A and B are shown apart, each in its own frame.
Chain A
Amino acid sequence: MSDEQSVAEKNTVVTERMGLRIVSLLLIIGTISVFMLWSVNPVGSGRESTFALFLAVDLVSVAMISYVGRSVTREGRMARAPLIAGCCMILFLVLTGIYLLS
């Protein structure tokens, strides 16, 4: 086995581990947001907005999990930009949701 092949295999293993951690984190965020959105009292337009924002958090999490899964299994590497953009989006949505809730 050449050096290049072994480096590529090591990179793939590292990417898989990273992917697993990111997916686990996203699953936790998704679960919390599901819990949050169903615990919101639905009466009132502000509350509906909070529900909608937590639903959007869930959907962005699903999109990111799908992206990570696709990237790791097929390409063996992940681009940082989509992950950073997704994390910023989740953070923004969660903060806005909490602000509306308060």
Chain B
Amino acid sequence: MGWFDSRLGLSYQLLRPAPQYSVNPFYWLGALATVAFVIQGVTGAIMMLYYVPSPTQAYATTQYIFQNVSYGTFLETIHLYTAYAMIMLAFMHLMRGYFVSVHKKPRELMWVTGMVMGFVTLGFGFTGYLLPWTIVSKSATDVGIGMMGALPQPLANFLTFLIVGSGTDAGELLRFFDLHVFVLPAVLLVLLVVKMYMLEAHGVSEPTTGIESLPPKKRKLIPIFPDVSFYLVELAALFGSAVIIISVIFPLSLPPEYSASLAGQYVSQPDWYFLWVYQILKISALEEAGLSVALSVVTLIFIALVLLPFIDRGKTRSIRDRIVYVTLGAIFAAEVAVLAVWGYLTPGIAIPDETAGLVLGGTALLVTMGTVVAYKAVFGGLRSIVKGRASGAPQKPPAVSKSVSSRSAAVWTSGIFVCLLVAGAYFIGDSISGVIALRLGASGALLSLVVSLAGLSLTVVGTMFLLYRLDLGSGLIRRRIRAFELGWKE
């Protein structure tokens, strides 16, 4: 190692050292997404040796890779799963950044750059999906292109020109290929350099509780080489092995080739990362209002995310003092997950307004209750938080009792709450299935729907009872119940 170091200058401090507390996978989700991007670059370059971007040959050459190229199925599977992993990691990176307020001064532009990188990542998914020219990919892409036409002008014209070209299948596929292989990687690399430059300027973000709250050992700075580099190698290798193992368990198979006659029989549906958007567009009220109104709702969500640093301008980064934003973030993440699963289960079925209201409202209610209980359990009560904020008292978290009974009560409370959440999620899913079955006229569907709605109601009542008892635990009753003892103050 010393020999290489003296020749290559590996230990020369080119990059600023990172704090010890950043040796944590959650600080490196973006780095893992970059690793996924590199793996896709390598596997994609190998596949490009065989692939021909023409409607008459795209499917045949993809099939050739699957059947005749050594390790071809493995390459295709890894390429797809790392793309999925990249999107998932980018989303986790976004949500983690949101919850720990990395978008606040001085990192506003890092957030905006990261959001643009997220859109480019989704663009990779959209453009890459068409390339195998299967019935699944072509139908879903056609739906996506159709939706673009409903966007406000001149954006609609610009996007249509950019990705459809002359309007022929050949022109469309070639443009998608060029975007996927040359344009988007180049844009992503430039944005990556810009973001890395800003990361180098600002450093790793501090913990939300402030750097003073950490022990000196955690505050210590460690060099990028070898400490952080070794850690990143470790994470990247584990990530790679996880993707490989998943690809062995669930190998990819190629759907049938696209043909106009087959397309008529197939219910088109986008890939999972666009399913939540697809599901929003299927809500009856939005469908009736027109595609442009529905797309405007989705566009507004994206714009709000990009402009978040200029909307959430409070100075505090503490999670304790941002209950509204934390709750909104948790609702957003939960709604995206519920909409995606729901969209997967109901391809091509319009969603009645009442069902949409019940499911989305129920999810929001459960998540809000969950956040309130979590705040109560972790920070010791909303009243104290509100009081602390109103009186301008220091925003440090209260000292947590380390007594065994308090810990045990916390475990019990969390356990009961997790059970309620799981039950809530199950009954929401069961209600959706019940509604679908009812619409399809299945026998016993009404009974199943009634049972699941009753279960959902019981879960909501149970959660409210838990909240009620936690409040009573603050000293108004004397009869202790171990499971609800957490908020008790003598």
Residues in chain A within 8 A of chain B (CB atoms) = 42-43, 45, 48-49, 51-53, 55-56, 59-60, 62-63, 66-67, 69-70, 73-74, 89, 93
**Cα distance, A5 to B74, chains bound together (Å):** 53
Contact B248 A52 (CB under 8 A): yes
Q: What does the 1/0 interface line of B238-268 toward A look like (CB < 8 Å)?
A: 1011001101100100000000000000000
A66 touching B231 by the CB < 8 A rule?
Answer: yes
Contact B73 A48 (CB under 8 A): yes
> Which of B45-53, B122-130, B198-206, B222-230 lies at the interface with chain A?
B222-230
Q: 3 smallest A-B Cβ distances: which pairs? A: A42-B70, A63-B237, A59-B241
In angstroms, how far is the closest chain B Cβ from the Cβ of A29?
A: 13
Q: How far is the CB of A39 from chain B (nearest CB, A)?
A: 13
One digit per residue, 1 when the CB lies within 8 angstroms of any chain A CB and 0 when it does not, for chain B 182-221 equals 0000000000000000000000000000000000000000
Q: Which residues of B contact A43 (CB under 8 A)?
A: 70
Given contacts A43-B70, A66-B237, A67-B234, A49 and B251 within 8 Å (CB-CB): yes
Contact between chains at A66 and B234 (CB < 8 Å): yes
Q: Distance (Å) between the CB of B274 and the closest chain A CB?
A: 28
Beyond the given A48-B74, A51-B74, A73-B226, could you list 9 further A-B residue pairs with CB under 8 A, ordered by the A residue number?
A49-B248, A49-B251, A53-B244, A53-B245, A56-B244, A59-B237, A67-B230, A70-B226, A74-B222
B234 adjacent to A63 (CB under 8 Å): yes
Which residues of B sit under 8 angstroms from A52, Cβ to Cβ?
A: 74, 244-245, 247-248
Cβ B230 vs Cβ A66 within 8 A: yes
**B237 contact set on A, CB distance < 8 A:** 59-60, 62-63, 66
In the complex, the answer to whether B226 meets A45 with C-beta atoms within 8 Å is no
Quick check: is B233 within 8 A (CB to CB) of the other chain? yes
Interface string of B82-106 (1 = CB under 8 A from A): 0000000000000000000000000
Check B241 against A45 for contact (C-beta < 8 Å).
Answer: no
Return the CB mask of B374-397 against A: 1 if under 8 Å, else 0: 000000000000000000000000
* Contact residues in A for B240 (Cβ distance below 8 Å): 56, 59
Given A42-B70, A48-B71, A48-B73: A69 and B226 within 8 A (CB)? yes
- Give complex CA distance A2, B387 in Å: 52
Contact, CB under 8 Å: A70 / B231:
yes
Other-chain contact of A70, B73, B234, B248 (Cβ < 8 Å): B234
Which residue on B lies nearest to A90, using beta carbons?
Answer: B241
User: CA separation between A53 and B244, bound complex, in Å?
Assistant: 7
15 A–B contact pairs at CB < 8 A? A42-B70, A48-B74, A49-B251, A51-B71, A52-B74, A52-B245, A52-B247, A53-B244, A53-B248, A63-B235, A63-B237, A66-B233, A67-B234, A73-B226, A74-B227
CA distance in complex: A12, B235 (Å) = 25
Q: Which residues of B contact A89 (CB under 8 A)?
A: 241
A51: chain B residues within 8 A (beta carbon): 71, 74
Enumerate chain B residues within 8 angstroms of A59, measured Cβ to Cβ. 237-238, 240-241, 244
Using CB atoms, name the residue of chain A closest to B223.
A74
Tell me whether A69 and B241 are in contact (CB under 8 A).
no
Contact of B238 among A42, A45, A63 (CB under 8 A): A63
Shortest beta-carbon distance, B420 to chain A, in Å? 31
Least CB distance, B77 to chain A, in whole angstroms: 9
CB-CB under 8 A from B230, the residues of chain A are 66-67, 69-70
Task: With both chains docked as a complex, state the minimum distance between the C-beta of B450 and any C-beta of chain A, in angstroms.
Answer: 46
**CB closest residue in chain A, given B238:** A63
A76 to chain B, nearest CB (A): 13
Residues of A within 8 A of B235 (CB): 63
B24 to chain A, nearest CB (A): 14
- Check if B227 sits within 8 Å of A70, measured CB to CB: yes
Distance (whole angstroms) from the CB of B145 to the closest CB of chain A? 34
Over the window 310-337 of chain B, the binary record of Cβ atoms lying under 8 Å from chain A Cβ atoms (1 yes, 0 no) is: 0000000000000000000000000000
Q: Check A60–B71 contact: CB distance below 8 A.
A: no
Measured in the bound complex, the distance between the Cα atoms of B248 and A27 in whole Å is 24
| Complex: A24 Cα to B173 Cα, angstroms | 50
Q: How far is the CB of A53 from chain B (nearest CB, A)?
A: 6
Closest to A97 in B: B248
Complex Cα distance A101/B290, Å? 57
Q: How far is the CA of A60 from the CA of B240 in the complex (A)?
A: 9
How long is the Cα–Cα vector from A89 to B242 in the complex, in angstroms? 11
Q: How far is the CB of B50 from chain A (nearest CB, A)?
A: 15
Q: Which residues of B contact A66 (CB under 8 A)?
A: 230-231, 233-234, 237
Q: Give the distance in Å from the alpha carbon of A93 to the alpha carbon of B240 in the complex.
A: 14
- Please indicate the chain B residues that have their CB under 8 angstroms from the CB of A49 in the complex: 248, 251
Closest residue of B by beta carbon distance from A74: B227
Residues of B contacting A74 in the complex (Cβ-Cβ under 8 angstroms):
222, 227
A48–B251 Cα distance when bound, in Å, is 10
Closest Cβ of chain B: how far from A42's Cβ, in Å?
4
Contacts of B222 on A, CB cut-off 8 Å? 74
Q: In the assembled complex, how far is the CB of residue B244 from the closest CB belonging to chain A, in whole angstroms? A: 4
CA A77 to CA B252, docked complex, whole Å: 42
Report B-chain residues with C-beta under 8 Å of the C-beta of A62. 233, 237
